Amino acid sequence: MKFKKNNGFTGVDISIAIIILFIFISIIATLSYEFNLSSRKLQTKGEAIEIAIKEIEKIKRNGFQEVEDLNSKSEKDKNGKQLKNQLVDGKEGYYKTILVQDYNEISTRTDIKENLVKKVSVIITYQYRGEEQSVELSTIVSKLYS
C-alpha cells in the first residue's frame, strides 16, 4: 500500500484561501465605505442643524420687532436682505430661507388680531451627493401686549 505524503499546500488549497481572503477584504472595505458615507452625511446634516439653531436663536434674541413687518409674502427683511436662498456666511454650500407667517394666516379663526404672534421658520438647504437636502426649524415669537 502506498500512502501519499501531505507535504505543504496544493494549488487548490491556496486558491480557496485567496478567494476567502478577497471576500473578507471586500466585505470590510464595503462596510468601511458605508460607515464613512454615513458619517459624512450626519456631519453635513449636523452643520445644517447648527446653522438653523443659530438663526432661530438670533431671531429670538432680536425679538418681535425684527419680524413685525414681515409676512408670508415678504421677500426681504427690514434691512433689505433677501429672505429666500441667502448664502450662509462662513459656510460654503449652505443656503438659508426664512419664512414668516402671521398667526392669522395659519389659523382658520377670524377673531385673531393681526400682527401679535408670528411663526418663523428657518430652512437650511445644502447639496449632498448631488441631491438637495434641507433642515427646517420653527419658532413662535409674540409681541408684548398690554
For the stretch 2-20, pLDDT in tens is 666 666 667 888 899 999 9
pLDDT tens per residue, range 40-96? 999 999 999 999 999 999 888 888 877 877 777 777 777 777 788 888 888 888 999
pLDDT for 53 equals 95
- Residue 6 located in a structural domain: no
The yes-or-no verdict on residue 34 having pLDDT over 90 is yes
**In angstroms, rounded to a whole number, what is the distance separating the alpha carbons of residues 67 and 139?**
12
What's at 93, amino acid-wise?
Answer: G
**Residue 54: closest CA among 119, 122, 126, 143:** 122
The yes-or-no verdict on residue 146 having pLDDT over 50 is no
Q: Which domain holds residue 63?
A: 11-142
**In angstroms, rounded to a whole number, what is the distance separating the alpha carbons of residues 129 and 114?**
43
**C-alpha cell read off for 2:** 502506498
The yes-or-no verdict on residue 132 having pLDDT over 90 is yes
**Number of structural domains found in the chain:** 1
Residue in this structure with the C-alpha cell 421658520, named with its chain if needed: 121
Q: What is the reported pTM?
A: 0.74
**In angstroms, rounded to a whole number, what is the distance separating the alpha carbons of residues 146 and 142?**
12
pLDDT tens per residue, range 107-131? 777 676 777 888 899 999 999 988 9
- Residue 109 located in a structural domain: yes
- Residue 3 located in a structural domain: no
Alpha carbons within 13 angstroms on the beta-carbon side of residue 44 total: 19
Give the number of other CB atoms < 10 A from CB of residue 101: 19
pLDDT for 102 equals 84
CB 49 within 8 A of CB 42: no
Give the number of other CB atoms < 10 A from CB of residue 55: 19
pLDDT for 3 equals 63
**C-alpha cell read off for 109:** 379663526
- In three-state secondary structure terms, 35 is helix
- Residue 132 located in a structural domain: yes
- Residue 1 located in a structural domain: no
- In three-state secondary structure terms, 142 is strand
Query: What rounded mean pLDDT belongs to the chain?
Result: 85
The yes-or-no verdict on residue 21 having pLDDT over 90 is yes
